[in-house]
Structure 1
Amino acid sequence: MKIVKQIVFTLFALVFLNAGLSKFFHYMPAPEMTPEQMELMGAVVKIKWLMPLTGTIEILGGLLVIFPKTRALGALVILPVMTGILVHGITLAPDTIVLAGTLMLINIWMILDNYKRYRPILA
């Protein structure tokens, strides 16, 4: 089970590393978007600092998740971005819900798997 967990968490981390790097180097093509999604993307692009911030959080979170020693922190760093991805999928991109839901479940699994590390913060 430990090997499966490491593989799943590493793949999760690589998804976010890839997404974050693509925000800086623009190597992944943009998906087809509805007019509503185009309007949202236009607003996001106007906020010049938002995409670099999101990309930085994705890269940082992805790097932290790769290593078991820092995974608990990485899971928390990625959680707000993952929440945004899931809400976006539910509201504007229903075709992405399966992927977003799967990634959210993996994120929750990491958080639950590291619950003991959070106890001092919650005490």
Structure 2
Amino acid sequence: MKNKILFVVCLLFGLMFINAGLNKFLNYMPVPKDMPESMMKVMTAFMTVSWLMPLVGFIEIVGGILFIPKKTRALGAIIILPVMAGVMLTNIFNAPSGLPIAAVMLIINIWVIIENREKYLPMVK
């Protein structure tokens, strides 16, 4: 039962990141009208660095794809971790309304990392 729940959670997590990454290339999700001014400034700054958003989008897509299958989930979790750190910091300082979802996503990512900790041991030995 635990494996089925973990798979469903990982599937949804991966699909959310794939969707977010694709949106960075295709811009199909509208920007919310009630976005805080500080968040608008941050997004404008991110957009001035022309290579940053495509890089983050690519990492989100690759990490999301790798997060879904059990065999590559450990790699996907590590790839997505820096993006999750950025998402958390952005939500803490600029858009606190998104913090609950970001916190849940970070918990899922950490849960997967803990579940796969034996796969990371050769890197730290």
Runs of 4+ aligned structure 1 residues displaced above 6 Å come to: none
Aligned AA for 2:41? E
In structure 1, what is the equivalent of residue 25 of structure 2?
Answer: 24
In structure 2, what is the equivalent of residue 95 of structure 1?
Answer: 97
Distance, in Å, in 2 between the alignment partners of 1:35 and 1:59 is: 28
Equivalent residues in 2 for 1:25-104, closer than 5 Å? 25-31=26-32, 32-104=34-106
Aligned AA for 2:109? N
Task: Return the offset for 1:40.
Answer: 1.2
Aligned AA for 1:121? M
What is the TM-score with the length of structure 2 in the denominator? 0.96
| Gaps in structure 2 of 5+ consecutive residues | none
Distance, in Å, in 2 between the alignment partners of 1:36 and 1:105 is: 26
Distance, in Å, in 2 between the alignment partners of 1:113 and 1:91 is: 30
What is the TM-score with the length of structure 1 in the denominator? 0.97
Distance, in Å, in 1 between the alignment partners of 2:25 and 2:4 is: 32
Task: Return the offset for 1:24.
Answer: 0.5
Distance, in Å, in 2 between the alignment partners of 1:37 and 1:89 is: 9
- SS at 1:70 equivalent: helix
Distance, in Å, in 1 between the alignment partners of 2:75 and 2:91 is: 25
Task: Return the offset for 1:41.
Answer: 1.2
| Gaps in structure 1 of 5+ consecutive residues | none
Task: Return the offset for 1:38.
Answer: 1.4
Residue-pair matches, total: 123
**% of aligned pairs identical?**
46
In structure 2, what is the equivalent of residue 115 of structure 1?
Answer: 117
Distance, in Å, in 1 between the alignment partners of 2:104 and 2:20 is: 16
